[in-house]
């Protein structure tokens, strides 16, 4: 049974789709004014793990994610460069999907660029105006929060106000102060992109986008809506207000929010300048799989402090997986099954499932995997592991790959390269003939080609670095 922490109630609740079969999920996507940083990708990786876990339950899933391709920053930068907003955002949208693929993030089923959904947004504003939830001020349209009962329910507004007043400076307090928010913005100057609407020419506000695109594709009530914790207020509280004011139905059953990626105790963000893009890290030679592992090492509900040391730690964890898979694959094993190892594998599998069911506890899920690696490595050294055990362990790693997508591809671990095999054989022959100068020379050649060799009881093994 899958339990998720629902921000709406502040508790863990058992999740099943409302109709028992089909999960309708919406995740807030990127604003494509620049490259996404790995803080953003921590959120997308957590949502990807959730997505994969939901699919593993056999439920049908419709996962919608928006692309915010119009906002103040996009307009400002495209005006500065003298290009239209689409020309400005297209490369960043492309980069976002390339980076997502590099991080093995599955593509949502429906991608909704905001500028493709203007008619739906216009319709929503018309309904809000007609029902008296929205009003005009100047040439813009605003949502009147005092008209909506329980405004701020998701962020528990009164408590939050008290907390925020006590700890952040007045400027930021004012900025976050609950207030009527804009639904439709009149253009400030000639250069701003605009659309015609019965209530005046303009462009949509950010909050409006997600309500319109979510309900258009998923219906009035979604099963799950995700984002990072900074989306809770005002963005998600505003989405609730706009949507429920129109439909009179609960907008979302489960609100699921990921915590921040921090750098030295502060939120990683563009505005603070303390960020890395995925491209930065790959350019420095980091392995995307290690980055993915690092981003999910800590369960999504806890903050994760990003350091290079942490990333190196994830790389060594990944190397441990690689070494183990290599060793397991290349071992010569007897037929049959060792019952102790068989039950260890089954229990690792159960622990892995239970951990993910427990509010996506990725740390514990990974823990179960590493414990099995430890036990199986001992069994290999003691010649206890059998063919059937190997098959079951590989099956389990296939499951881990489907769910967490952090398992190094076996092809990269073991290479049946004849030329290398021949060199290794020549080196072994040289050693048998006690021609150590020759064997060292061949070893060096192998190292230069990025091949590591290991002499074991069972013979010489090699793998690529």
Q: Minimal CA–CA distance to 321: which of 358, 290, 355, 286?
A: 290
Tally of CA atoms within 13 A in the half-sphere of 89 that contains its CB: 21
Which residues have a Cβ under 8 Å from the Cβ of 406 and sit 6 or more positions away? Answer: 289, 292, 293, 296, 318, 321, 400
Q: Does 366 bind ligand AMP (CB under 6 A)?
A: no
3-state secondary structure (DSSP) of residue 427: helix
Q: Does 230 bind ligand AMP (CB under 6 A)?
A: yes
Positions that interact with Zn ion (CB under 5 A):
28, 210
> Segment 251-270, which members bind ligand AMP (CB under 6 A)?
260-261, 267-269
**How many residues bind to ligand AMP according to rule CB under 6 A?**
16
Q: Does 207 bind ligand AMP (CB under 6 A)?
A: no
**Residue 45 binds which of Zn ion, ligand AMP, none (CB < 5-8 A, kind-dependent):** none
Which residue number, 360 or 379, has a Cβ lying nearer to ligand AMP? 360
Q: Does 30 bind ligand AMP (CB under 6 A)?
A: yes
Q: Does 39 bind ligand AMP (CB under 6 A)?
A: yes
Tally of CA atoms within 13 A in the half-sphere of 22 that contains its CB: 7
In angstroms, the Cα distances linking 287 to 102, 318, 372 are 10, 10, 24
**Cβ of residue 58: shortest distance to Zn ion, in angstroms?**
28
Residue 459 CA to residue 241 CA, distance in Å, equals: 68
Tell me the longest C-alpha to C-alpha distance in the chain.
93
Q: Does 31 bind ligand AMP (CB under 6 A)?
A: yes
Structure tokens that stand for 66 in this block: 């928006």
User: How many other CB atoms sit within 10 Å of the CB of residue 112?
Assistant: 24
**Cβ of residue 312: shortest distance to Zn ion, in angstroms?**
34
**Cβ of residue 237: shortest distance to ligand AMP, in angstroms?**
14
Q: Does 108 bind ligand AMP (CB under 6 A)?
A: no
Cβ(297)–Cβ(314) below 8 Å: yes
Which residue number, 66 or 361, has a Cβ lying nearer to ligand AMP? 66
**Residue 298 binds which of Zn ion, ligand AMP, none (CB < 5-8 A, kind-dependent):** none
Q: Site map for ligand AMP, 291-330, x if CB under 6 A?
A: ----------------------------------------
The residue from 4, 5, 25, 42 that contacts ligand AMP (CB under 6 A) is 42
Residue 345 CA to residue 355 CA, distance in Å, equals: 15
**Residue 210 binds which of Zn ion, ligand AMP, none (CB < 5-8 A, kind-dependent):** Zn ion
CA dihedral 155, 156, 159, 165 (to 10 degrees): 30
| Binding positions for ligand AMP, rule: CB under 6 A | 28, 30-31, 39-40, 42-43, 227-228, 230-231, 260-261, 267-269
């Amino acid at each position: 049974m899958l339990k998720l922490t629902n921000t709406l109630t502040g508790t863990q609740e058992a999740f099943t789709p409302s109709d028992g079969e089909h999960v309708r999920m919406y995740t807030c996507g990127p604003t494509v004014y620049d490259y996404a940083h790995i803080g953003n990708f921590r959120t997308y990786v957590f949502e990807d793990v959730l997505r994969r876990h939901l699919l593993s339950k056999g439920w049908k899933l419709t996962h919608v994610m928006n692309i915010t391709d119009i906002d103040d920053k996009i307009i400002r930068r495209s005006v500065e460069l003298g290009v239209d907003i689409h020309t400005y955002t297209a490369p960043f949208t492309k980069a976002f999907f390339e980076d997502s693929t590099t991080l093995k993030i599955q593509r949502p089923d429906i991608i909704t660029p905001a500028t493709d959904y203007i008619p739906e947004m216009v319709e929503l504003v018309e309904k809000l105006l007609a029902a008296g939830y929205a009003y005009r001020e100047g040439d813009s349209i605003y949502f009147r929060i005092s008209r909506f009962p329980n405004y701020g329910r998701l962020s528990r507004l009164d408590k939050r106000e008290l907390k925020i007043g006590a700890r952040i400076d007045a400027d930021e307090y004012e900025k976050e102060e609950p207030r009527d928010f804009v639904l439709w913005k009149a253009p400030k100057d000639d250069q701003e992109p605009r659309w015609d609407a019965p209530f005046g020419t303009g462009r949509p506000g950010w909050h409006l986008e997600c309500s319109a695109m979510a309900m258009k594709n998923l219906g009035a009530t979604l099963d799950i809506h995700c984002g990072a914790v900074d989306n809770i207020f005002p963005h998600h509280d505003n989405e609730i207000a706009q949507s429920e004011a129109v439909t009179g139905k609960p907008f979302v059953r489960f609100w699921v929010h990921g915590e921040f990626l921090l750098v030295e105790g502060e939120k990683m963000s563009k505005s603070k300048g303390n960020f890395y893009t995925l491209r930065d890290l790959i350019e420095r030679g980091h392995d995307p799989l290690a980055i993915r592992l690092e981003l999910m090492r800590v369960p999504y509900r806890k903050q994760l402090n990003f350091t290079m040391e942490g990333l190196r730690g994830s790389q060594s964890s990944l190397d441990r997986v690689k070494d183990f898979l290599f060793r397991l694959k290349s071992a010569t094993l007897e037929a049959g099954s060792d019952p102790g190892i068989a039950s260890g594998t089954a229990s690792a599998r159960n622990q892995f499932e239970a951990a993910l069911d427990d509010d996506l506890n990725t740390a514990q899920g990974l823990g179960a995997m590493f414990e099995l690696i430890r036990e199986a490595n001992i069994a290999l050294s003691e010649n206890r592991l059998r063919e059937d055990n190997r098959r079951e362990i590989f099956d389990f790693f296939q499951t881990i790959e489907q769910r967490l997508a952090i398992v190094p591809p076996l092809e990269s671990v073991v290479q049946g390269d004849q030329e290398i095999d021949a060199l290794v054989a020549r080196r072994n022959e040289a050693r048998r003939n006690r021609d150590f100068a020759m064997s060292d020379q061949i070893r060096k050649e192998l190292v230069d080609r990025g091949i590591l060799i290991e002499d074991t009881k069972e013979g010489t093994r090699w793998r690529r670095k």
